[in-house]
Amino acid sequence: MKLVKSPEKKDWPDIIRRPVMDTTALAEKVRTILNDLQRNGDAALRQYTRQFDGYEGTEIRVTPAEFATASGKLDPALKTAIRVAANNIRKFHEAQQQEPELIETMPGVRCWRAAVGIEKVGLYIPGGTAPLFSTLLMLGIPAIIAGCKEIILCSPPDAAGNLHPALLFAANEIGINKVFRAGGVQAIGAMAYGTETVPAVYKIFGPGNQYVTCAKQLVQQDGIAIDMPAGPSEVAVLADHTANAGYLAADLLSQAEHGADSQVLLVVTEEKLAQQVQQCLLNQLEKLPRRDLAEKALAASHLVVMPSKGLAMELLNAYAPEHLILATEDALALSREVVNAGSVFIGHFSPESVGDYASGTNHTLPTNGFARAYSGVSLDSFVKKITYQQLTSEGLRQIAPAVIAMARAEGLDAHANAVSIRLEKNQ
């Protein structure tokens, strides 16, 4: 990690800057695949699955027998862990449900808002170097609670056409059975436009590499909603003299092992702690199976020594991390100063990995600085909030002067007439 001591504010942009890549050529490649999916449906989907995943079969949808087989392949301890996580995620998201509250803005004028589940949603779960069955829980459970009528899941198969058994077990456990062997851009295109086998959806959720992210952004231009803009995963940590250097190193590595393009940022108030963390990183790296990926991520990341917690929080709010760990003696108080972050982990015993898996909060979060304006996925992500109003005859009479005056002032006489004609008919 690059050590920076007491940087001046003019140098902060260099510390918090994310990697920037030219996506022009990428977008052209992705658009070509999306156009092919739109025109040729299943045939194109099978072609790209052969090309990118090596699966030569023709079966796109996972069969009921495969769900049963997957369950038999899993260690009972992992099944229990998935059920524990699912239960906690369900509890947290069920608590986000709200009953409509009727507001009488003036006598005879009643207004309310109700949540209605998005009818058709698509969940994308990457395969690649890590089968993210935990992400399926994070997306599938709130979709079910929200009342989405059709929930489909796409994930890339291996060369034999198999999906990871933990993914199939988790899908079956929470009640999702429309699962398709499709990955990458072709999966996003299939869910966006529909094929003979894969239903089209109204909103697409889920993480992915640069190709998947680009595909989501392009189909959004075609009117398909997506969960949020997303980039490589990231964590920022603020630590003081009470922090354990070994804990901090583990937290940084838990994020760095996601991939070479992941970002970690450690901000400390003591240089001695920074040195201790660097040594712990070296020690822990030796034992990591994904050491190469983590080392590349760390090489592009920063370790910053700040003279005060106030300045440290200012820097972290400017960074707007996906995950923010506060490993300080006053962590709870500092958490109230957080303005920009996807999810906050408070205190020495709240590692970011618990939020990734089982605490109950959602781990699908804004990255790349989008936490300045976006929230993470929640129950609200799977619903539309529809507003309603109901007026009595007396209510219309009371509000009519304001509506008519405003409509006429804007030159919209038909708007005014829609009110006045009712008054005339009901005198």
- Residue type, position 358, single letter: A
Residue in 93, 164, 302, 323 annotated catalytic: 323
Nearest-CA neighbor of 137 among 153, 150, 148, 149?
153
Residues 6 or more apart in contact with residue 97 via CB below 8 angstroms: 115, 145, 379
CA-based nearest residue to 319, from 282, 266, 273: 266
Please check if 363 is assigned to a binding site: no
> Any binding-site annotation on 241?
no
Q: How far apart are CA 308 and CA 272, in angstroms?
A: 15
Q: Which helix (H) or strand (E) holds 270?
A: none
Active-site position among 173, 257, 322, 352: 322
Q: Tell whether 209 is in a known binding site.
A: yes
375 is in an annotated binding site: no
The string of DSSP codes covering 134-178 is HHHHHHHHHHHHHT-SEEEEEE---TTSPPPHHHHHHHHHHT--E
User: Tokens at residue 289, please?
Assistant: 């199976």
Alpha carbon 310 to its chain's center: 29
Q: Please say if 322 is a catalytic residue.
A: yes
Which secondary-structure segment (H or E) carries 205? strand 203-205
**What is d(CA 60, CA 186) in angstroms, rounded to the nearest whole number?**
12
Task: Transcribe 320-352 into DSSP letters.
Answer: --SEEEEESTTHHHHHTT--S-SEEEESTT--H
Q: Among residues 307, 294, 278, which one has the least CA distance to residue 1?
A: 278
Cβ–Cβ under 8 Å, residues 225 and 143: no
Consult the annotation and say whether 94 binds a ligand: no
Cβ neighbours of 170 (radius 10 Å): 29
Tell me 381's DSSP state: G
Provide the H-helix boundaries in 179-290: 184-193, 210-221, 245-256, 271-285
CA distance 193 to 425: 48
348 is in an annotated binding site: no
Euclidean distance between CA atoms 156 and 129, whole angstroms: 12
What's 119's DSSP letter?
Answer: S
415 is in an annotated binding site: yes
- The annotation status of 51 as a binding-site residue, yes or no, is no
Confirm whether residue 124 is marked as ligand binding: yes
Tokens read off for 155: 């994930």
Task: Confirm whether residue 258 is marked as ligand binding.
Answer: yes
**Tokens describing residue 379:** 């129950």
- The annotated binding site for NAD(+) is made up of 124, 186, 209
Active site residues: 322-323
- The annotated binding site is made up of 124, 186, 209, 233, 255, 258, 323, 356, 410, 415
- The annotated binding site for substrate is made up of 233, 255, 258, 323, 356, 410, 415
- The annotated binding site for Zn(2+) is made up of 255, 258, 356, 415
